[in-house]
Homo-oligomer: A and B are copies of this chain.
């Protein structure tokens, strides 16, 4: 059985109940999440042996984050304990014309203050076949960027496939800094995943004729973007998620996959949103799963889009769907009829 390693930050996610605004909250739903942890969870739900690597504070709040991973079957034995705090993000769920809002409070977290010596990648990658990380990790600081570089080097040396979700976060670093750091890491990445804005934000590669804030997308433009990315960094595949935001409650969702030769476009789903955080991560996990199974690219893409479509109906960052559920949707049953 194949084993997947993901590396990054897991945070405490504090969200007011329902659609309450931050200033109305007298309690916070306490969940955990983060790009790479979300990928590990989704893969574990698909039955994959998935390990998440990070650094967590030794206290009970760190332990609670670790337990949330263990709960869903993620291998946590490579997690290092140390540092002072667990990063936090506050999430206010939007509705209708009111957008969701995220306030990050992640500076000084245990992973952001980690050192290279904390991780023994040789040992971590023992028996593994895939390594995944996102652009958030190198944005946490030069030390973490360096850890990513080390991990990537070790992964390629051991023959693992590698994937990276660009995931640009403007509040963590500037576009210039992102471009500089990511450009150094990308040549070691096989599969590049991006949303409709990342390529432009990180590498200045812009899809012509699209305005994401208006929810209009142009297929031709994205083909161009994918091709440019693949050429510049030598990715064997580039996947781009295509989100059309109608309102905070309603989005359209699809994706494309470029394999250096062909452009595959998925079905498009109209989604009534329960929780859209982690939508992109669940797409990445779907792609990785499909490739580990050796499925044809188009079938894998449809699986990944269906799996991530379902993610939007699930509370929290984590995608808790089975392979069968994603396949049923990809296969055409979107009616939501009661299953008894």
Q: Which residues of B contact A31 (CB under 8 A)?
A: 26
Give the interface size class of chain A: 35 or more
Q: Smallest CB-CB separation from A104: which chain B residue?
A: B340
Chain B residues near A212: list those with CB within 8 A. Answer: 337
Nearest CB on B from A104, distance (A): 7
A25 contacts which chain B residues (CB < 8 A)?
30, 64
Chain B residues with CB below 8 A from A100, complex form: 336, 338-339
Determine whether A14 belongs to the interface, using a CB cutoff of 8 Å to chain B: yes
| Segment of A91-99, A141-149, A156-164, A222-230 in the binding face | A91-99
Q: Does A247 contact B (CB under 8 A)?
A: yes
Nearest opposing residue in chain B for A95, CB measure: B313
With CB as the reference atom, state the residue of chain B lying closest to A215.
B335
Residue of B nearest to A103 (CB): B59
B60 contacts A214, C-beta separation under 8 Å: no
In the complex, whether A238 has a CB less than 8 A from a CB of chain B is no
Q: Report yes or no: B94 in contact with A313, Cβ–Cβ below 8 A.
A: yes
CB atoms of B24 and A316 under 8 A apart: yes
CA distance A104 to B61 in the complex (A): 11
Assembly stoichiometry (copies)? 6
Answer yes or no: A47 CB below 8 A from chain B CBs: no
For residue A276, CB closer than 8 A to chain B, the reply is yes
User: A19 at interface (Cβ–Cβ under 8 A)?
Assistant: yes
A320 pairs with B23, CB closer than 8 A: yes
Interface flags, A27-59, vs B, CB<8A=1, else 0:
111110000000000000000000000000001
Give residues 257-288 of A contacting B (CB, 8 Å): 269, 271-274, 276-277
Tell me the smallest distance from the CB of A269 to a CB of chain B, in Å: 6
- A90 CB–B CB distance under 8 Å: yes
Give the residue of B14, B24, B314, B340 whose beta carbon is less than 8 angstroms from that of A315: B24
Give the contacting residue for A313; candidates B19, B85, B104; CB below 8 A.
Answer: B19
Q: List B contacts of A272 (CB < 8 A).
A: 95-96, 247, 249-250
A22 touches B108 (CB 8 A): no
A125 to chain B, nearest CB (A): 22
A64 and B22 within 8 A (CB): yes
Contact A107 B108 (CB under 8 A): yes
Q: Is A205 among interface residues, defined by CB-CB distance under 8 A? A: no
Task: Say yes or no for A73: interface residue by CB 8 A criterion.
Answer: yes
Distance in angstroms between the alpha carbons of A14 and B306 in the assembled complex: 28
Q: How far is it, in angstroms, between the C-alpha of A27 and the C-alpha of B29 when the chains are bound? A: 4
**Bound Cα distance from A313 to B20, whole angstroms:** 9
Within the complex, the shortest CB–CB distance from A96 to chain B, in Å, comes to 4
CB distance from A87 to the nearest CB of B (A): 10
Instruction: Give the chain B neighbours of A61 by CB distance below 8 A.
Output: 22, 90, 103, 105
Contacts of A26 in B (CB 8 A): 26, 29-31
Q: How far is the CA of A149 from the CA of B105 in the complex (A)?
A: 30
Closest 8 A-B residue pairs measured CB to CB?
A248-B336, A245-B335, A22-B60, A98-B313, A95-B313, A102-B340, A71-B71, A96-B272
Q: List 18 A-B contacts (CB under 8 A).
A: A24-B316, A27-B30, A28-B28, A60-B90, A85-B105, A88-B88, A95-B272, A96-B313, A97-B271, A97-B336, A98-B336, A100-B339, A102-B340, A213-B335, A245-B337, A247-B335, A249-B272, A250-B272
